[in-house]
């Protein structure tokens, strides 16, 4: 199969605040759109970014009603509240591997969506986790109209990854012209299910429904393996390189922050 990109770049940003993580993704998307990334690192290259969250954070989809989240409870628990540049619903980021994928490409969104998840699935297979595509596409308009849809992890889109029928990677995309950003979460433990703690004004009945949905429909890596962030990131990097037929090019956050215009106001 012909590689989709001439070469693959990767960066591991480590653990950062919610605001830093979201702004870094937005700045990287702008660097691709304005050509700064290509001028510095070469045409035809895509970028994988890996990161964690410190402190824990609730992220909302860019069109989600912020009133759905109890900011006072988040503040009391030391939990950040941020808005993602992509759509979707709320995610509690506590103990997870988060990735972002960037490219300037005319390829359809669905092609990128599938390629990214295929790469992650191959990496998971190396640690004995058999992840499979979700084959159906829910009616998200109808889903988002229901009160229990406040959590992003309770619905799986086509080509998202599941293990034993439960979602283990949640992803979302945003495209601006020729540039695509896809990012997503892979829970390392069950802490992502605590999202119900941070819902504002929810009845006990709704909280119970969200908890039951999360328990029934979502999975975390620790259910299947002792491997964690430090084990999985190098495997994804290796598989990303394999998809281009060469080793991935490892970058540092500092190299990226030196890109032309990177620190201009958002």
pLDDT in tens, 180-227: 999 999 999 999 999 999 999 889 999 999 999 999 999 999 999 999
Longest dimension (CA), the chain: 54
Which among 231, 220, 90 has a CA at the least distance from the CA of 149?
A: 90
**Enclosing domain of residue 237:** 7-257
Chain segment 138-169, per-residue pLDDT in tens: 444 544 445 445 554 555 567 789 999 999 99
| Per-residue model confidence (pLDDT) at position 142 | 47
Q: Is 87 exposed, middle or buried (0-12, 13-18, 19+ CB in 10 A)?
A: middle
Residue at 265 is within a domain? no
What predicted TM-score, i.e. pTM, was given to this entire model?
0.91
Residue at 220 is within a domain? yes
Contacts 24+ apart (CB under 8 A), 32-39: 32/102, 32/103, 32/104, 32/179, 33/104, 33/176, 33/177, 33/178, 33/179, 34/260, 34/261, 36/259, 36/260, 36/261, 36/262, 37/102, 37/104, 37/259, 38/104, 39/260
Q: Do 94 and 71 form a contact (C-beta atoms < 8 A)? A: no
CA distance 126 to 227: 10
Residue at 2 is within a domain? no
CA distance 101 to 237: 12
Please pick, among 9, 46, 152, 258, the residue that the annotation labels catalytic.
152
Residue at 17 is within a domain? yes
- Domain count of the fold of the chain: 1
Q: Among residues of the chain, what percentage have pLDDT more than 70?
A: 91
Residue at 141 is within a domain? yes
| CATH classification at residue 105 | 3.30.930.10
Residue at 40 is within a domain? yes
46 is catalytic: no
Residue at 113 is within a domain? yes
Residue at 264 is within a domain? no
């Amino acid at each position: 199969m012909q590689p989709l990109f001439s070469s693959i770049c990767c960066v591991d940003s480590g653990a950062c605040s919610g605001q830093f993580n979201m702004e870094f993704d937005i700045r990287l998307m702008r660097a691709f759109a304005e050509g700064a990334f290509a001028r510095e690192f070469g045409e035809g290259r895509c970028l994988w970014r890996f990161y964690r969250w410190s402190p824990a954070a609730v992220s909302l989809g860019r069109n989600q009603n912020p009133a759905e989240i109890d900011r006072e409870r988040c503040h009391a628990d030391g939990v950040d509240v941020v808005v993602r540049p992509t759509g979707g619903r709320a995610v509690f980021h506590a103990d997870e591997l988060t990735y972002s994928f960037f490219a300037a490409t005319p390829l359809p969104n669905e092609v990128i969506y599938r390629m990214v998840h295929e790469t992650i699935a191959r990496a998971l297979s190396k640690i004995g986790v058999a992840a499979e595509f979700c084959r159906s596409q829910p009616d998200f308009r109808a889903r988002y109209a229901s009160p229990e849809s406040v959590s992003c992890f309770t619905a799986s889109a086509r080509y998202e990854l599941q293990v034993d029928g439960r979602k283990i990677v949640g992803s979302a995309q945003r495209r601006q012209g020729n540039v695509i950003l896809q990012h997503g979460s892979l829970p390392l433990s069950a802490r992502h299910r605590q999202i119900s703690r941070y819902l504002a004004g929810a009845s006990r009945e709704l909280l119970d429904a969200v908890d039951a949905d999360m328990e029934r429909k979502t999975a975390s890596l620790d259910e299947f393996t002792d491997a964690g962030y430090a084990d999985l990131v190098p495997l994804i990097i290796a598989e990303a390189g394999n998809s281009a037929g060469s080793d991935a090019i490892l970058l540092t956050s500092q190299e990226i922050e030196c890109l032309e215009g990177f620190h201009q106001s958002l």
